[in-house]
Amino acid sequence: MRSASLLAAALTVSGLAVLALAALPHWALSQVPTGASAGGGPPDRLCKAYSGMPALPQNEADRTAGMVWVDGGSFRMGSDRHYPEERPPRTAKVSGYWIDRHEVTNAQYARFVAATGYKTVAERGLNARDYPNLPPEALVPGSMVFVEPPKNARVRMNSMEWWQYVPGADWRHPTGPKSSIAGRDNHPVVHIAYADALAYANWLGRALPTEAEWEFAARGGLNGKDFAWGDEQTPDGKWMANSWQGFFPFEDDAADGHHGTAPVGCYPPNGYGLFDMIGNVWEWATDRYQHGHRFSDGTVDPQGPASMAPVPGGVVRVIKGGSWLCSANFCARYRPAARQPQEADLGASHIGFRTVLRGAR
């Protein structure tokens, strides 16, 4: 999207409009994911052959299964060449940490739900006492769904009317109550609110990444580059991430091989061996959103503000990485520096996450 807010137009509910608002490459794996090669380095693809679940560790207490170790270091966070909210670029330093090699999949989230009985925000709905400014139609269980307009439709490009709040949409039913994730175990889980991602991370004894940790990992050692793979979006004509090719929102010619979410790991990993840091689905960071980077150069492990006033959909957090809906004419946020605000209690069909584990390697 072009605006600083992910859903900065009308949230349509039953006809009612509601405001919705580095170092050199280094990798380490505790376990090789199912379907991956166990050769001398990390496999260069997962994709359709991958089950969606990392191989179970020999010791089930091993909390780093399916993760990659990222050495800490200094890097240039943000950009002065793109959107205003990415400015000013700052020098940040992060400590070393483990991070999921790919976005959390439907298979992984299903395992968590089976073990805990957890229900997501989209499945529960919102409590009117917590959200007195929202009408009843906006409190029912459901989530935001991208509804592709017909090619001959007349839409206002600044209204984002292709987003609809769909009752019954959730991680198991990504486009509505009659849809399912059958055959999509290896796709990233979506319709995940911030609390849903945090619950999963806590279950594994992990955390969600800060914006600095996420961006450092996404760069894969390429400090200051526009993309996670360099300064060209399609080097040698090759698509490096799942995004929208064509004129959004009418036509995606799927030149990158996918329309909609792709199985994780269908595109080349970055310099740290991480898949899909760019494109496919947006990913949650822990930072509360503020316009621009306001920490001092040289700050170690920077984080967003400690508190901010909530909006109708909850506290606003940062999401990173862009999604398959980002195109050259609309959004263009398929870059490590790109960032957007997202209401913490509002999931969508293009928002997922990955986890981190801090501490000694």
Residues 6+ away with beta carbon under 8 Å from 20: 7, 8, 9, 10, 11, 144, 163, 165, 312, 313, 343, 346
Q: Which amino acid is at 120?
A: T
Give the pLDDT score at 86: 87
Q: Please name which of 340, 292, 333 lies closest in space to residue 90, comparing C-alpha atoms.
A: 292
pLDDT at position 186 is 98
Dump pLDDT digits (tens) for 297-339. Answer: 999 999 988 888 777 767 899 999 999 999 999 898 999 999 9
Query: Contacts for 126-132 with beta carbons within 8 Å, 24 or more apart?
Result: 126/345, 131/312, 131/314, 131/345
> 119: helix, coil or strand?
coil
- Contacts of residue 264, defined as CB under 8 A and 6 or more positions apart, other chains included, come to 46, 47, 50, 52, 102, 103, 105, 186, 187, 188, 275, 276, 280
Inter-CA distances, 113 with 104, 118, 185, 228, 248, Å: 13, 5, 14, 32, 35
Cα–Cα dist 258/260, whole Å:
6
Q: Where are the beta strands (DSSP E) in 212-311?
A: 282-288, 299-300
* Average pLDDT for 271-293: 96
Is the CATH number 3.90.1580.10 carried by domain 1-361?
Answer: yes
Q: What integer is the mean pLDDT of 130-147?
A: 91
Residue indicated by tokens 């976005």? 103
In this predicted structure, what is the pLDDT of residue 158?
A: 62
Residue 11, pLDDT score? 42
Asked if pLDDT for residue 56 goes beyond 80, the answer is: no
pLDDT reported for residue 354: 98
Percentage of the chain lying above the pLDDT 90 cut: 70
Integer Cα distance of 155 and 148 in angstroms: 11
183/357 Cα distance (integer angstroms): 29
pLDDT of residue 19: 30
Neighbouring CB atoms inside 10 A of 189's CB total: 30
Q: What is the DSSP letter of 314?
A: B
pLDDT of residue 59: 57
| Residue 114: exposure state from Cβ atoms within 10 A (0-12, 13-18, ≥19) | exposed
pLDDT at 7 over 50: no
Which pLDDT belongs to residue 350? 97
pLDDT digits (tens, 9 = 90+) for 193-219: 999 999 999 999 999 999 999 999 999
User: pLDDT tens digit string along 86-113?
Assistant: 899 999 999 999 999 999 999 999 999 9
Q: Above 50 in pLDDT, residue 34?
A: no
Instruction: Say if pTM beats, i.e. exceeds, 0.75.
Output: yes
Q: Contact, 227 vs 334, CB < 8 A?
A: yes
